[in-house]
C-alpha cells in the first residue's frame, strides 16, 4: 500500500498557525481555526510547524495543540505533527508523543545547524522511524537546515517503510528524481507561490501557509492543478499573487496573524524572537486582502 493512500494526503495541507492569548496558546481559537480550514475544503492540517511557531512551544503546549487539532478533525482529514529537532532523542520523544495523541503522520526536519553528513541524516531518520509507527514526512528545507538530501540518501531511505514523503521548496526536485523515487514518495512543496510549477513537475501537493488566510481559494487552486485544469489554476494564482507576495515566502506567522486579524479580528500575538509586523508590511497585507475581495466571487471571510 502506498503511504499516500494510507495517509489520505490531498493537494492542500495547511501549516496551521498557533494563536496566543495572554502569552499562552489559545486552544479555543485554535479549534475554531481548524474547523474553519476543514469546512473550507483543505485536505490536512500540519501543526507545530515553523508557521505554527513550534520551536517556541513547550512539550506540554505541543501536546495540547496536537490534541486540539486531532479532536477538531475527528477523522475528517489527517493531522500531521511537526516533531523534528536537531537532536535524534528529542525528535523521537516528540514523535512518540504525537503518535500517542492521535496524529496521522509526523513532519520531521533534516537536522539543522549541526549540519550532519548524509550517513548521519540516514541514521537519524532510521532511528526515528524505528521508534514510532507513524509515517514520516521529511522536511528538506535547505535554507533553514544547511543540509540537503542527496538522491543517494533518498534511495537509501526509500527502503525504510516509515518514510512516506518529502517536503521541499525546490521546484526542480520532482522532475530531477528517478521515476522509482517519484512514485515511492509523496512529494510536497512548502511554497505557495511556486506550488503550480511544483505539481507540474511531478509533485503531489503543498503544505500551505497562505491557506491559513483564505483556505477555500488556496485549496481550489491545488484541486484545479490535480484535475489538470491549468487555466483555472493560473487564474486563481493570479488572483492570489498579491496576497502571496505580501505574506512572504517563508510562512511567516507574523504576517499570517495580521491577515487573520484583518479578516477575523483575531489576536496577532507571537512569541519571541518573532515580533509584530512593521507598519509597511501591515499596509501591504491589508491592500492585498482588499484587492482579493474585489476580484473574488467567494466571500473573503470564508
Q: The pTM is what?
A: 0.93
- Check whether 294 has a pLDDT greater than 60: yes
Count how many residues are written for the chain.
302
Cβ contact 30:18 at 8 Å = yes
DSSP 273: T
Cβ contact 148:115 at 8 Å = no
Measured from the Cβ of residue 161, the count of other Cβ atoms closer than 10 Å reads 10
Lowest-pLDDT range, 42-51, 100-109, 150-159, 191-200?
191-200
Q: Where are the domains of the chain?
A: 3-227
Topology of domain 3-227, CATH: TIM Barrel (3.20.20)
b vs e for 165-180, b when ≥16 Cβ sit within 10 Å of the residue's Cβ? Answer: bbbbbbbebbeebeee
Percent of the chain predicted with pLDDT > 90: 76
Between CA 158 and CA 151 the distance in angstroms is: 10
- Check whether 156 has a pLDDT greater than 70: yes
- Check whether 1 has a pLDDT greater than 60: no
- Check whether 60 has a pLDDT greater than 70: yes
Between CA 280 and CA 286 the distance in angstroms is: 10
What pLDDT does residue 295 have? 80
**pLDDT, the chain, mean:** 91
Residue-wise pLDDT for 176-223, tens only, equals 889 999 899 999 999 998 888 888 888 999 999 999 999 999 999 999
Q: What is the average pLDDT across 137-149?
A: 80
**Band (301; pLDDT cuts 50, 70, 90):** very low
Amino acid at each position: 500500500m502506498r503511504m499516500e493512500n494510507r495517509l489520505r494526503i490531498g493537494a492542500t495541507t495547511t501549516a496551521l498557525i498557533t494563536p496566543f492569548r495572554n502569552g499562552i496558546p489559545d486552544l479555543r481559537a485554535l479549534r475554531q481555526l481548524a474547523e474553519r480550514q476543514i469546512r473550507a475544503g483543505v485536505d490536512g492540517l500540519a501543526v507545530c510547524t515553523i508557521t505554527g511557531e513550534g520551536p517556541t512551544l513547550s512539550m506540554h503546549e505541543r501536546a495540547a495543540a496536537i490534541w486540539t487539532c486531532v479532536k477538531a478533525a475527528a477523522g475528517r482529514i489527517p493531522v500531521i505533527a511537526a516533531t523534528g529537532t536537531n537532536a535524534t532523542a528529542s525528535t523521537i520523544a516528540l514523535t512518540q508523543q504525537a503518535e500517542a495523541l492521535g496524529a496521522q503522520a509526523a513532519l520531521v526536519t533534516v537536522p539543522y545547524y549541526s549540519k550532519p553528513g548524509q550517513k548521519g541524516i540516514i541514521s537519524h531518520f532510521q532511528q526515528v522511524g524505528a521508534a514510532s509507527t507513524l509515517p514520516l514526512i521529511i522536511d528538506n528545507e535547505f535554507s533553514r537546515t544547511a543540509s540537503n538530501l542527496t538522491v543517494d540518501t533518498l534511495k537509501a531511505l526509500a527502503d525504510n517503510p516509515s518514510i512516506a514523503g518529502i517536503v521541499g521548496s525546490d521546484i526542480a526536485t520532482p522532475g530531477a528524481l528517478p521515476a522509482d523515487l517519484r512514485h515511492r514518495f509523496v512529494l510536497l512543496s512548502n511554497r505557495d507561490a511556486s506550488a503550480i510549477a511544483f505539481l507540474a513537475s511531478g509533485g503531489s501537493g503543498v503544505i500551505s501557509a497562505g491557506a491559513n488566510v483564505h483556505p477555500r481559494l488556496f485549496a481550489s487552486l491545488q484541486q484545479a492543478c490535480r484535475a489538470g485544469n491549468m487555466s483555472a489554476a493560473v487564474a486563481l494564482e493570479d488572483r492570489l499573487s498579491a496576497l502571496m507576495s505580501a505574506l512572504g515566502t517563508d510562512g511567516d506567522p507574523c504576517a499570517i496573524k495580521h491577515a487573520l486579524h484583518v479578516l477575523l479580528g483575531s489576536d496577532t500575538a507571537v512569541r519571541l524572537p518573532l515580533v509584530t509586523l512593521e507598519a509597511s508590511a501591515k499596509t501591504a497585507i491589508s491592500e492585498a486582502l482588499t484587492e482579493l475581495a474585489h476580484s473574488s466571487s467567494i466571500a473573503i471571510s470564508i
